[in-house]
Amino acid sequence: MIYLRENGSLIHVIKLRTHAVIAALVAGAALSACGSSSASSGPTTLRLGYFPNITHATAIVGVANGIFARDLGPNVTLKTSTFNAGPAAMQALLTGALDATYVGPNPTITAWAQTHGSAVRIIAGATSGGASLVVKSSINSVADLKGKKIATPQLGNTQDVSLRSWLKSHGLNTNAQGGGDVSILPQDNATTLQSFESGLIDGAWVPEPWATRLVQDGHGKVLVDERTLWPQGQFVTTQLVVATSYLNKHASVVSGLLKGDIDANDFVNANPAQAQTIVNDAIAKLTGKGLKTKTVQAAWTQMTFTVDPIASSLYKQASAAESVGLLKSVNLTGIYDLTPLNNLLKAEGKPEVSASVIASS
């Protein structure tokens, strides 16, 4: 199931408009796979999704600095849309409103499972790290969370699964309806900050910059820096996903997008101060309010920007989603298509990346 947020309330948005839509997606992907893998000639549009979050700095810089437009070339029109959390972005991808999107691992896994591995492919990474559980100053341990109310960006999104899995590993149960030992409340990140400041919630597992804002503006403290839960502190937070049908039909356009992903990541890593300004200005434009400079600077230190999708962490995220009852057992073989990315990396003399389950572990 996929959930969207409308007018501040959680609504259940069907099972991909029932089995008929899933069947259509599967059939469409199969037909595309039988066609030519080269890009179609003539002008083309690429509809790209991303979030107005610092964890999506690669996408924001790629759009705002004109890197994507340059690397896509003059025959490709780039149209962008922004989202609050992954399930809504993947819903847009699966229903044909997007061609590609920057998104977290768990919504990608869900989309893969719902379409039996036909509709989406992970083609690159973007960000590692940048997520934490921030709580009231009176909470000092996981045991203190029993009976408390904790927010996440959206039911089934990456931080939501991380929270539920971590709680379960410490003997605290949750359910999708907000019950259990800890009540989990999915809500917009901006609402989470307001709720935390007013005392309506006791904490939140959120991505940057919201974790830093809960500390700086909400006077909370970090109970769990998610990096401490992963080997070498590396786990995928943001990756680039494309509709399989679009990849098959417009291979050269996707290659241009991947070139943009590489170039945007290079810019972010080579020019952190400038990148922070670009990202903050874009967030202000997209949301109506920018961030404090100290917030951006502090949040930036929590993340690593990399084109490596850190595949091993996605497989572990899938297991976590299964363990908390948000995903049935799924075979993820084929979810990655890293050949186009590795071709570009090889041509530039850069290390290639792996889709192996043991990568980055």
- Provide the token pair at 105: 């691992």
Strands 236-243 and 120-129: what pairing?
antiparallel
CB 252 within 8 A of CB 340: no
From CA 42, how far away is CA 44, in angstroms rounded?
6
Express each pLDDT in 81-97 by its tens digit. 999 888 899 999 999 99
Q: What residue ranges define each of the domains in the chain, with the CATH number in brackets?
A: 3-128+234-347 (3.40.190.10), 131-233 (3.40.190.10)
**Band of residue 291 on the pLDDT scale cut at 50, 70, 90:** very high
- Summarize the confidence of residues 269-274 as an average pLDDT: 98
- Summarize the confidence of residues 166-176 as an average pLDDT: 96
Q: How many residues does the chain have?
A: 361
- Provide the token pair at 87: 């399930």
Which has more pLDDT, 57 or 22? Answer: 57
Q: Given a cut of 90, is residue 39 above it in pLDDT?
A: no
CB 61 within 8 A of CB 267: yes
- Provide the token pair at 336: 């990655």
The pLDDT > 90 percentage for the chain reads 81
Express each pLDDT in 100-133 by its tens digit. 999 999 899 999 999 999 999 999 999 999 999 9
Cα–Cα nearest to 209, from 161, 160, 276, 272: 276
Local structure of residue 227 (DSSP, 8 states): G
Instruction: Map residue 232 onto helix, strand or coil.
Output: helix
Cα–Cα nearest to 302, from 219, 214, 234, 231: 234
Total-model pTM: 0.83
